Structure 1
Amino acid sequence: MFHSFFPKPKLFFISAAVWTIVCIFVWYAVGPQMGTAIGLPPLAAGEKAPIGLAFFFSPDNLWFYLYFTIFVLIFGIAWKLIDRNHPWSNWSIWGSAFIIFIAYFVVQISVAMNNWRGPFFDLLQRALAKEPGITDGQFYDLILRYFEIGMVSVALNVVTAFFTNHYVFRWRTAMNDYYMSKWDKLRHIEGASQRVQEDTMRFANILEGLGVVLINSVMTLVVFLPILFEMSKYVSDLPVIGAIPHALFWLAIGWSLFGTLLLAFAGIKLPGLNFRNQRVEAAYRKELVYGEDHQDRAQPVTVGELFSNVRRNYFRMYWHYLYFNVARYGYSQIDAIFLLFILVPTFVAAKITLGIWQQISTAFGEVSNSFQYLVNYWSTIIELLSIHKRLVAFEAAIDDKPLPEIDQHYLEREAEGGEIAADRPY
């Protein structure tokens, strides 16, 4: 799954994680001083960031683009020297780096939008209060700045969709070529054709999507946590609890971790059920395929038994998804009003303007959503885990290791001329 596309994947991902930590440490330790030394200084204390397209070309952002490029080149060139002959290293190294940069830029668009919300909604509040000096031109100018940010977002979405489609297909191609080169060892495994044709496609698609979201979540935390920490100065009192320093910062972390643990506990049985569901569906489909060419196969009794296995497993899944969805949708509904409840004392005391409220809401939402990675994508993670279980059997066969228990059971039943029991507790 990984070594077909990435050079020495275990070492590659460990080194990438370590290198990322080094990059972040250097950036926060001496990054601003390095930028100042080359004429790209950060914003001065109290200086507001540019609004609109100019934000993406501010000196501190230009310095980050250069900084990112330098550290990626160092990492990429080192790995090209470590493994010179890997056929997919260009896509796995440089392609992955480009996707990480795209994830960062998506976060920057969110920051640019948050910078825009403050002055726009403050201007709106002043206009609704009929303060003198408010003109049409002020609104039109801010709307134009919004349009600029929107056009950057459109261009980025187009590039992201085009590039990631190619990236995912290259990964699928790498897995396909590798598995087909080992086909003699794999062909006897149940659903081998489906695993090569469909599971590799779904695995690459889902893992790439989840990976991008995870990177985006980490980038969002790095960027928005300091913003939320700073904006906590506007919120001094909380309902029931009272005064807490940097309240918004700690509430966003605590509330999100609570949701993550809640959903992980509620959905702990779902990956195994999803995997077993793929198994009984495959057994049913395979008997139907045999029935197309052999008159003695796909008989009503056999097909009825196989379909009853499918039905039994789906009913199990529906039950476990019932209480999982109670937890998921219940948490989501409370999450929608959590920040409003927290800020009631601040609203009543009139400590913030409409613009600041919009910025707090955005920053809190970005941080909360980033911490709620499992909450938002648990169903997709379940699907990925079930696909991974199926592909693990391929890895075992290629390495001449014992197959997973469920695959051994299938081969035993095939040899006996029997069928797979869906109710076996794998």
Structure 2
Amino acid sequence: MFRSFFPMPKIFFGSTVIWTAICVFIWFTMGSQLQGLLSLDPILTPSAGEDATPFLTNQKVWLYQYILMATYGFCVLWYFIGRNKWYWWSVVGSASIFIIIFAQVQVGAYLNDWYGDFYNQIQQALAEPGSVSIEKFFGDMVPVVLILMPNIAVAVLVAFFTGHYVFRWRTAMNFFYMDYWQDVREVEGASQRIQEDTMRFATSVEDLGAELVSSLMTLAVFLPILWTLSQQITELPLIGAVNGSLVWVALVSAAFGTVLLALVGIKLPGLEFNNQVVEAAYRKELVYGEDDPSKAQPKTVLDLFGAVRKNYFRLYFHYMYFNVARYLYLQGANFIPLIALGPSIVSGAITFGILQQVFNAFSRVENSFQYLANSWTQIIRLMSVYQRLRRFEKAMPV
């Protein structure tokens, strides 16, 4: 699954973790010294000063440059270490997706700051009619439009790029497996595993991997923001004042949901796997029946379809109580920030702008902590595909 696309997967992914740790260590220990030597901020920072644009302050220019250098520097190393035929897609393509996700998280951080100022302005305009001019009101929206329009274009290009990325991975898996076709052709559902499961696996891993990276980056950016905003919160209901209160509330909420759904959905991966087995058997008999009149007889078809029906009904039953737990948790989680902010709201300790900033930052942090809870259904399906492909690969003489 991985060795067909990535160069030396165990070493590659292990070195990715080590490289990331080294780069983070360098940033926090020697980042300021390196900035004076390598940063392009004197060229890129507007002459009007750091505040001319929130994206081109001295520190942010250096951060963007460092991320680019660290990410593509890793690609350069692997160009010489273990480059394979899919290098430009598997290594450089993955790095590019990482960079784009980082850029989108930075846009989200800027919007969080903008919401705070803009909604404070709305509060002022409502409390003191005439205090905010219409020119200023609409003028403050212009920077957001100028940022969001190219961001939309980037999102479209990313969707186009990731589509090609996933298909390249499927292509690599397809030809890798076909090299061993004579060894694996007798495996149950061999044609389906090559034709369908490879695409499902590549798509699911890319989606879940990109979402995981996005969640980790969001936490890195928004945790400090939420911790700072927590200083504006006077106390939590029933608990009182707690340092970084909103961060702990988001963490506990997400941990509870993740454990809950893992326990409730423990039987689903096996049922999804069985579902693919019975579907493959039914499909295979029908395909044989197209060319051989002795195949796909009514009794055989009835028995095979009965197995499909039985497994689907079991799957529906187990998904029923899983979805009850999932939707109750996700809907209930929407009220957690309101409950946590209750004392601060009724005491008038925060402004409307701060309230919006807290809601936005809290939802991003909580959603990142809820990565497993939000992705559990897709993870279950990926686990079933993984099990099928692993059994398939066991028949290969390598």
Q: TM-score, normalised by structure 1?
A: 0.88
Aligned partner of 2:90 in structure 1 is 92
Show the counterpart of 2:305: 307
**What is the SS of the residue equivalent to 1:345?**
helix
Partner of 1:66: 65
Corresponding residue for residue 106 of structure 1:
104
Identity %: 49
> How far apart, in 1, do the equivalents of 2:32 and 2:148 lie?
28
| SS of match in other structure, 1:57 | coil
Q: How many residues were matched structurally?
A: 391
| Alignment partner of 1:79 is 2:78 | yes
Give deviations 1:238-280, integer Å, cap 9, x for gaps: 1111121221111111111111111111111111100100110
1:21 deviates by 1.6
Residue aligning to 2:186: 188
Residues 329-379 of structure 1, C-alpha deviations (whole Å, 9 max, x = no match): 010111111110111100011111111111111111111000101111111
Q: Which whole-Å CA distance do the structure 2 matches of 1:131 and 1:399 have between them? A: 78
Shift of 1:219: 0.3
1:236 offset after TM fit, Å? 2.2
Q: How far apart in 1 are the matches of 2:330 and 2:27?
A: 35
- CA distance 1:25–1:131, change in 2 (3 Å): farther
> 2:24 corresponds to which residue?
24
Q: Which of 237, 251, 256 does residue 253 from structure 1 map onto?
A: 251
> Residue 346 of structure 1 contacts residue 352 of structure 1 at CA under 8 Å; is this kept in 2?
yes
1:204 aligns with 2:196: no
Shift of 1:328: 0.3
The residue that corresponds to 1:7 in the other structure is: 7
Greater mean deviation of Cα atoms: 179-188 or 267-276: 179-188
Separation of aligned partners in 2, 1:232 and 1:272: 43
Matching residue of 1:34 = 34
The whole-number CA distance in structure 2 between the counterparts of 1:195 and 1:205 is 14
Letter in structure 1 aligned against 2:120: D
Q: 1:215 aligns with which of 213, 216, 232?
A: 213
Q: Distance in 2 between matches of 1:56 and 1:171?
A: 34
Letter aligned with residue 162 of structure 1: F
C-alpha displacement at 1:322, in angstroms? 1.5
**What is the one-letter code of the residue matched to 1:12?**
F
Q: Is the 8 A contact 2:41 2:62 kept in 1?
A: yes
Q: Give the alignment of 1:275-424 within 5 angstroms.
A: 275-399=273-397
Q: For residues 34 and 78 of structure 2, what CA distance do their matches in structure 1 show?
A: 26
Superimposed CA distance per residue, residues 260-315 of structure 1 (whole angstroms, 9 cap, x where no aligned partner): 11111111111110010011011111111111111111111111111111111111
**3-state SS in 2 of match to 1:243:** coil
Q: State the Cα RMSD in Å.
A: 1.8
Q: 2:54 corresponds to which residue?
A: 55
Structure 1 match to 2:262: 264
Amino acid at match of 1:14: G
Does the 8 Å CA contact 2:177/2:194 hold for their aligned counterparts?
A: yes
Q: Conserved in 1, the CA contact under 8 Å of 2:272 and 2:384?
A: yes
How far, CA to CA, are the matches of 2:120 and 2:36 in structure 1?
32
Q: CA shift at 1:39, angstroms?
A: 6.5
Which secondary structure state, in structure 1, belongs to the residue aligned with residue 335 of structure 2?
helix
Look up the match of 1:236: 234
Contact 2:234 2:349 in 1 (8 A): no
Give CA-to-partner distance per residue, 1:205-238, whole Å, 9 cap, x none: 1110110000000000111001111111011211
Residues in 2 aligned to 1:340 and 1:81: alpha-carbon distance in whole angstroms: 53
Q: From the superposition, tell whether residues 135 and 36 of structure 1 become closer, same or farther in structure 2 (CA, over 3 Å).
A: farther
Contact 1:113–1:149, Cα closer than 8 Å, also in 2: no
CA deviation map 1:115-171 (0-9, x unaligned): 110111000000001255310111111111221221132022012112111111111
- SS of equivalent residue, structure 2 residue 333: helix
Whether the aligned pair in 2 keeps the contact of 1:236 and 1:245 (CA below 8 Å) is no
Please say if residues 124 and 131 of structure 2, whose CA atoms lie closer than 8 Å, have aligned partners that are also in contact. Answer: no
> Aligned residue for 1:138?
136
1:163 and 2:161 aligned: yes
The structure-2 alpha-carbon separation of the partners of 1:158 and 1:32, relative to structure 1 and needing over 3 Å to count, comes to: farther
What is the CA distance between 1:71 and its match in structure 2?
A: 1.5
Structure 1 residue 36: Cα displacement: 4.9
Aligned-pair CA distance for 1:90: 2.0
- Distance in 2 (CA, whole Å) between partners of 1:23 and 1:77 is 15
Name the aligned partner's letter for residue 65 of structure 1.
Y
1:27-47 CA-partner distances (Å, limit 9, x unpaired) = 233324533554649xxxxxx
Post-superposition CA distance 1:385-422 (Å, at most 9, x none): 1111111122111136xxxxxxxxxxxxxxxxxxxxxx
Contact kept, 8 Å, 2:40 with 2:61, in 1: the verdict is: no
Cα distance, 1:190 vs structure 2: 1.7
| CA–CA distance in structure 1, aligned partners of residues 215 and 162 of structure 2 | 18
Q: 1:162 to 1:276 in 2, by over 3 A?
A: same
| One-letter amino acid of the counterpart of residue 81, structure 1 | F
C-alpha distance in 1 between matches for 2:237 and 2:265: 31
- Supply the distance in 2 between the matched residues of 1:380 and 1:69 (Cα, whole angstroms): 31
Flag structure 2 segments of 5+ consecutive residues without an equivalent: 43-49
Please give the TM-score of this superposition, normalised by the length of structure 2.
Answer: 0.94
